[in-house]
Chains A and B, each alone.
Chain A
Amino acid sequence: MKIVLENLTKLYPNRNKKIKEEVVAVNNFCFEIPDGKLIGLLGPSGCGKSTTLNMICGLEKPTEGRIYFGDDDVTDLPPENRGVGMVFQSYALYPHLTARQNIMFPLENLKGEAKLTKEEMIAKAEEAAKLVQIERLLDRKPSEMSGGQQQRVAIARALVKRPRVLLLDEPLSNLDARLRLQTREEIRRIQRETGITTVFVTHDQEEAMSISDQIVVMEAGVVQQIAKPQEVYDNPANLFVAKFLGTPPINVFKGQVKGGALYIGENRVMEVKGIADRPVTVGIRPEGFVPDADGPLVCGQIGVEVMGRDTSIVAKHPAMEGVQIRTIVSSDSVIDPSSDTVRFQVRPSKTILFDPSTGAVLGR
């Protein structure tokens, strides 16, 4: 089932009562989430991800705008009538109940027609437990389970009612790195198996990139870009998105377009077409640097780091923004680790030009 968000806006009264101005948590969010897809909602802390999710789920009422599940307008429905399952960042498992009781909890609330017998409930709970592979742990309490296992119980609890929409609010942030990797694969698998339209909130770009069908990048309550993961990386809509995605992050320089060529500082690095003479902000991905003794970009070399299969040259340049440039180069490049300077060719496909004042993309 698709979800349509129409001009969704949420204002909170300011916590500091002396200030009248309201906090804009989400600003005019428009998006149609296709049926059966997994959407990653990505953005820095405080950008309004949870607020968006809470509005979809019904815990928060939007100040403006409407929400549709399929063709139904659910904006004014309470959560239980929307058919949503939610997994919280802290899991929110009931600590005094066993895993089985936790998973059965939503079923016990069903009334009237939907009411189930005890046997049906147990069967459904076990089915959900099987899906997340915790059949053996059903009689344990949350305190007797690892973080990852609790996480699965929370997912099972969210799935047991067969929701039309599954919402996950930073479900992996309490797990250690390895478990996080494993669990996100698991979530992907479960989502594929069930085909439930899913919204996954995270502030970890790698997480969003690896499991989402589409990524929504938010900042300060405003949607910056909605696109496929690779697309967001290759074609960021603006400087914020470019900076937010990618590890190591994109390298940013102050530059200048003069007579059809791009200058970074004094270095004439490449030809550019279709941009009139003007100052620009230049973003170059770490893999956009190719060491070359005759390359046009002359940098001071700070160090060379070998990180597994990658080699990284850390350098500096007078026109750079930030403290250093981090590049990733193929490990067979000829590098003199003791040298003070290093010169690069710059790959045009990994270079993006932005308007210095608005951050909008000018060209590449």
Chain B
Amino acid sequence: MNKQSLKSWLYLLPAILFLGVFMVYPLFDVMIYSVEEGYNFASQSYFGVGRYNYSYVLRDPYFLQALKNTFILVIITVPVSTGIALLISVMLSSVQKLRDLFQTVFFLPYVTNTLAVGLVFMILFKKTPYTDGFINLIIHAFGGAGVDFIEGPYWAKMFVMCFYTVWVVMPFKILILTSALASVDQNLYKAAKVDGTPAFRIFYKITLPMISPMIFYLVITGFIGAFKAYSDEVAIFGTDLNAAGMNTIVGYVYDMLYGDSGGYPSFAAAAALILFAIVLTITCINLLVQQKAGVTAGVS
């Protein structure tokens, strides 16, 4: 090893150590856990090695429910939140007056505690002996029949869940997109205007391609974030997510470890690795799509 590469390894050492201890080692540990059959906490012993943990988890109705919930959440909230955030950012960048005020308003949820926001959602949606909740009051006012959003039918709970998730992730997306929009060379718009380009064409042909790297970034991190959803569910539906039928994969992992029915690190590890595989696949697909679409604009 020559001096140069010795030096570079030396500089890399802190990062390697850190990542090794806190990321690579646990990952391997989880892999090992996931194949140890019949692991016993107390005696720290197991019967054998095999695929049993995986097949158990994949046949567990609670896990399948969690898988379904997570997928619905991801598929609905990522496009919806990115789309709405884009819409709001474009509108924000076209107003002059009160722009700062709007920006602050849209950014507030980001600095607000998830549980606090969850509480507000409870008040909005929950049916109690005293009141039907704010949303139901509005539905009644329009002559509709009320729904119990927190303990009612599955679709209603899912709706609240998605609504909440979109609400929570929006501020960050708006922040990223408004700054992406602001960094587009204004001369491009001037040039387009001289050529009489209609507004929608300016948006599709110039704005969108110019900020597409940021949109891809948001979609990828959005997917990853939504797959890891858990605390938001707890904030609204309480800790017994399996009973509510609103568990997520991460929630399932947590329950397997520490929940009332917990104490099964092997099942938890298997579920965690399944989630890992899913997220990895989705991210790879995302990156491939991005490459195919030739998203390089704005990088220069």
Chain A neighbourhood of B209, CB < 8 A? 94, 96
Q: List, sorted by A's number, 27 A–B pairs whose CB atoms are closer than 8 Å.
A: A58-B194, A59-B190, A80-B193, A80-B194, A80-B195, A86-B190, A86-B191, A86-B194, A88-B187, A88-B190, A92-B187, A92-B190, A92-B191, A94-B188, A94-B191, A94-B205, A95-B298, A96-B297, A105-B197, A105-B205, A106-B195, A109-B195, A109-B196, A109-B197, A109-B198, A143-B300, A161-B195
Q: How large, as a class, is the contact surface on chain A? A: 20 to 34
Interfacial residues, chain A to chain B (CB-CB below 8 A): 57-59, 78-81, 84-86, 88, 90, 92, 94-96, 105-106, 108-109, 142-143, 157, 161
Contact across chains for B196 and A78 when beta carbons are under 8 A apart? yes
- Answer yes or no: B135 CB below 8 A from chain A CBs: no
Query: Contacts A90-B187, A92-B185, A96-B210; is A84 near B194 (CB within 8 Å)?
Result: yes
Complex Cα distance A90/B188, Å? 10
| Interface residue tally for chain B (C-beta within 8 Å) | 21
- Answer yes or no: B206 CB below 8 A from chain A CBs: yes
Chain A neighbourhood of B300, CB < 8 A? 95, 142-143
Contact partner of A59 (CB less than 8 A), chosen from B194, B205, B206, B210, is B194
Contact partner of A81 (CB less than 8 A), chosen from B191, B196, B201, B298, is B196
Complex Cα distance A85/B188, Å? 14
Instruction: Tell me how many residue pairs across A and B have CB atoms closer than 8 Å.
Output: 60
Chain B neighbourhood of A143, CB < 8 A? 300
Chain A neighbourhood of B193, CB < 8 A? 59, 79-80
Complex Cα distance A105/B195, Å? 8
Complex Cα distance A81/B195, Å? 9
Interfacial residues, chain B to chain A (CB-CB below 8 A): 185, 187-188, 190-198, 201, 205-206, 209-210, 296-298, 300
CB distance from B99 to the nearest CB of A (A): 15
Chain A neighbourhood of B297, CB < 8 A? 95-96
Complex Cα distance A143/B294, Å? 14
Contact across chains for B196 and A57 when beta carbons are under 8 A apart? no
CB distance from A86 to the nearest CB of B (A): 5
Contact across chains for B194 and A96 when beta carbons are under 8 A apart? no
CB distance from A42 to the nearest CB of B (A): 22
Chain B neighbourhood of A157, CB < 8 A? 191
CB distance from A207 to the nearest CB of B (A): 21
| Chain B residue at minimal CB-CB distance from A78 | B196
Chain A neighbourhood of B298, CB < 8 A? 95-96
Interface of A is mostly: mixed
Complex Cα distance A85/B190, Å? 12
Query: Contacts A96-B209, A96-B296, A143-B300; is A57 near B198 (CB within 8 Å)?
Result: no
Complex Cα distance A57/B191, Å? 11
Chain B neighbourhood of A58, CB < 8 A? 194
Known contacts A59-B193, A94-B191; 7 further A-B pairs (Cβ under 8 A) = A79-B194, A80-B196, A92-B188, A94-B205, A109-B196, A109-B197, A143-B300
CB distance from B13 to the nearest CB of A (A): 37
| Chain B residue at minimal CB-CB distance from A91 | B187
Complex Cα distance A148/B191, Å? 19
| Chain A residue at minimal CB-CB distance from B188 | A92
Chain B neighbourhood of A84, CB < 8 A? 194
Chain A CB within 10 A, most for which of B196, B197, B198: B196
Complex Cα distance A80/B209, Å? 23
Chain A neighbourhood of B194, CB < 8 A? 57-59, 79-80, 84-86
Complex Cα distance A108/B206, Å? 14
Complex Cα distance A59/B297, Å? 26
CB distance from B293 to the nearest CB of A (A): 11
| Chain B residue at minimal CB-CB distance from A161 | B195
Chain B CB within 10 A, most for which of A84, A92, A108, A161: A92
Chain B neighbourhood of A79, CB < 8 A? 193-196
Complex Cα distance A293/B118, Å? 96
Chain A neighbourhood of B198, CB < 8 A? 109
| Chain A residue at minimal CB-CB distance from B296 | A96
| Chain B residue at minimal CB-CB distance from A59 | B190
| Chain A residue at minimal CB-CB distance from B208 | A96
Chain B neighbourhood of A108, CB < 8 A? 201
| Chain A residue at minimal CB-CB distance from B192 | A105
Complex Cα distance A164/B50, Å? 79
Complex Cα distance A109/B198, Å? 7
Complex Cα distance A78/B193, Å? 9
Chain B CB within 10 A, most for which of A85, A92, A96, A106: A96
CB distance from B134 to the nearest CB of A (A): 41
Complex Cα distance A58/B191, Å? 11
Complex Cα distance A227/B197, Å? 37
CB distance from A57 to the nearest CB of B (A): 6
Complex Cα distance A142/B192, Å? 16
Chain B neighbourhood of A85, CB < 8 A? 194
Chain A neighbourhood of B205, CB < 8 A? 94, 105
Chain A CB within 10 A, most for which of B187, B198, B201, B210: B187
Complex Cα distance A85/B195, Å? 8
Complex Cα distance A81/B196, Å? 8
Query: Contacts A57-B194, A109-B196; is A94 near B187 (CB within 8 Å)?
Result: no
Chain B neighbourhood of A57, CB < 8 A? 194
Complex Cα distance A80/B199, Å? 13
CB distance from A94 to the nearest CB of B (A): 6
